[in-house]
Amino acid sequence: HLSARLASVASLVPLNARIADIGSDHAYLPAALVLDGKIKFAIAGEVVKGPFENAVHEIQAHQLEENIIPRLADGLAAIKDKDNIDTITIAGMGGSLIASILERGKDKLEGVKRLILQPNVGESSLREWLMNNRYQITTEKIIEEDGHIYEIIVAEPSIVPFRYSQYELDFGPFLLENKGPIFVKKWREYLQREGQVINQMKQAKKIPVDKIDQLQRRLEIVK
Ligand code: SAM
């Protein structure tokens, strides 16, 4: 049984996809996808021994050894050519870490048709990496679970380079268009938090004025 966050990631995986779930920890995502009959093959990549062992354990517990291969490796090094991976999922990390995993594993991205990414923070820098590497964002989701708000970004390689405005990079082209209740909540909370930070800075008097101005301008944009 998946968390709402991972269930949302799972819902974006195409039927019979061959997936590499990077930073898989317990391999909950690929395990649920196989048990649901949605996919037959997955790699569960982990760079840390403890989480890797969690994955091994989960795979054994459900007898999924035929379907899910755990690999102890850094980022996309978990992927081998013969795996014929067409979909990569990376969830539960910062956006800049996800971007660096993609950047360092560029040679493994050939043949991959879809990236399903769930950054916990730093969505903007991840979108920027996607744009600069000829990916087109095809879907976005925003969900709330246990008081946390998560964004999920789906991207596919495009022949023509896609340009996004700074607004779209910051807020997400699809999320910005829909402006749903969770999106509004996320940015209202952001405004409240940042407003408090700026007030505290003003009171502290030690922060350079131009730094405060910069934050203030950003606040106005979000507003
Ligand atoms: N993907 C799962 C989820 O969304 O629930 C687990 C998220 S967990 C917070 C992040 C995992 O990413 C950790 O287990 C960590 O070891 C792994 N990780 C971090 N950097 C990695 C890298 N370069 N390559 C593979 N795994 C990595």
Other C-beta atoms closer than 10 Å to the C-beta of 7 total 14
Q: Categorize the per-residue pLDDT at 209 as very low, low, confident or very high, splitting at 50, 70 and 90.
A: confident
For residue 60, the model assigns a pLDDT of 98
Q: Residue 209 class from Cβ within 10 Å (0-12 exposed, 13-18 middle, 19+ buried)?
A: exposed
Q: What is the CATH code of the structural domain delimited by 4-164?
A: 3.40.50.150
C-beta of 105 in contact with ligand 1 (< 6 A): no
User: To test the ligand 1 pocket, which listed residue (2, 19, 24, 54) has its Cβ within 8 A of the most ligand atoms?
Assistant: 24
Give the pLDDT mean for 64-84: 98
Looking at residue 165, its amino acid is S
pTM score of the predicted model: 0.96
CA distance 9 to 207: 41
**Which has the closest alpha carbon to 93: 31, 144, 25, 33?**
25
Q: Which of the four pLDDT bands, split at 50, 70 and 90, describes residue 157? A: very high
Cβ(94) – ligand 1 distance below 6 Å: no
Domain locations along the chain: 4-164, 185-222
**Alpha carbon of 44 to ligand 1 centroid (Å):** 10
Q: How far is the CA of 26 from the centre of ligand 1 (A)?
A: 10
- Residue 92 corresponds to which amino acid? G
User: Whose CA is closest to atom 14 on ligand 1?
Assistant: 25
For residue 106, what are the CA distances in angstroms to 2, 101, 111, 204? 29, 9, 11, 45
Number of H helices, E strands in the chain: 9, 7
Q: Which residues contact 171 (CB under 8 A, 6 or more apart)?
A: 183, 187
pLDDT digits (tens, 9 = 90+) for 8-58: 999 999 999 999 999 999 999 999 999 999 999 999 999 999 999 999 999
Ligand 1: distance of its center to the CA of 82 in Å?
23
Instruction: Return the residue whose CA atom lies nearest to atom 2 of ligand 1.
Output: 24
Tokens representing 73? 């490796």
Assess whether the C-beta atom of 9 lies below 6 angstroms from ligand 1: no
Q: Evaluate: CB of 117 within 6 angstroms of ligand 1.
A: no
Which pLDDT score, from 0 to 100, does residue 205 have? 80
Say which residue the tokens 């996809």 belong to. Answer: 17
pLDDT in tens, 93-139: 999 999 999 999 999 999 999 999 999 999 999 999 999 999 999 99
**C-beta 51 within 6 A of ligand 1:** yes
Determine if ligand 1 sits within 6 Å of the CB of residue 93: yes
